[in-house]
Amino acid sequence: MNNHHQEDDFQEVPPSKSELKRQMLELQALGKKLLDLNNKQLQSVPLTEELADALKEYHRIKSHEARRRQLQRIGKLMRSADHEAINQAVALFDASSEAYAQHFQQLELWRERLINEEAALAEFIEQWPGCDVQKLRQLIRNTRKERQAEKPPAQARKLFRYLREICEAPQGE
């Protein structure tokens, strides 16, 4: 009989009202971050169609009170969306996040490998088959010439921007 009471003690307790409200406010805050992204950035975030429509609607609304209600609706829609995947995608655009820093370090690593290693190009093309190989080769060649001539890194920056464009493009393009 004692074991039965102990098992009841370990059953999950539903979250309190305060905890539910905190979760709701966190989802609303994530929804606010989504509103700050531009259309190109939003394309790389895994949104439901209804959530994407609600974000577009928010930008059309002019009334302060109506915007507040729409933000609450966005928070509600976030509950049924994959908010963890959305949060990870949004973190890539937040310059203060660790994910953003790691993403840029990865891009810098790719740039250096492409400039210094011949085999890196084939590996990059295999990982991102949708890239413009001819443009990529030209940028790498120009960056190598620039480094040999000890010029300012204008071509290296162009190469980095192109790598960023490729890596951040939605996966269907």
Domain boundary assignment for the chain: 2-91, 98-168
Amino acid letter at 100?
Answer: Y
What's the whole-model pTM score? 0.50
Q: How confident is the model at residue 168 (pLDDT cuts 50, 70, 90)?
A: confident
Q: Do domains 2-91 and 98-168 have the same CATH topology?
A: yes
Name the architecture of domain 2-91. Orthogonal Bundle (1.10)
Q: What's the chain's length in residues?
A: 173
- Determine the CATH number of domain 98-168: 1.10.60.30
Q: Please determine, for residue 155, whether its predicted confidence score (pLDDT) is greater than 70.
A: yes
Determine the longest span between alpha carbons in the chain, in angstroms: 84
Handedness of CA 128, 120, 95, 102 (dihedral sign): positive
Average pLDDT, the chain: 82
Q: 3-state DSSP: the chain helix, strand, coil percent, rounded to 5?
A: 75, 0, 25
> What are 74-107's pLDDT values in tens digits?
888 888 888 788 887 777 777 666 767 787 888 8
